Amino acid sequence: MPVPRQRHTKSRRNRGRSHLALKKVAIYACLKCGQPILPHHVCSNCGFYKGREIIDTMKKLTKKEKKIKEKEVAKHEKEQAKKEKDLNMAEMSK
């Protein structure tokens, strides 16, 4: 049966384990809809990646679901346009 040559100290053992710590997961907001997504992934809510539509999310929905989703998207776009307008007005007043 193999036997370890020499006992390792606590500090040596702990230095070896220093790279096993968990790292924080980076979560970003989708540029199109604002939903949280992982980096380098297509948004599951709107199907956009890097400003381009990759997946047509409306295709799989029923007629009733499509109508609801389109209203949500229109409302969100309207809110974003309003925010941009408010920012521009604030910048002009400076």
- With a CB cutoff of 8 Å and minimum separation 6, the contacts of 45 are 30, 33, 35, 57
Given a contact cutoff of 8 angstroms between Cβ atoms, the answer to whether 30 and 46 are in contact is: yes
Nearest to 35 by CA among 24, 26, 44: 44
**How distant is the alpha carbon of residue 61 from its chain centre?**
23
Q: Render each residue's pLDDT in the chain as its tens digit; 94 residues.
A: 788 788 889 999 999 999 999 988 899 998 888 889 999 999 888 888 988 888 887 777 788 888 888 888 888 888 877 777 766 666 666 6
Nearest to 28 by CA among 39, 17, 16: 39
pTM: 0.51
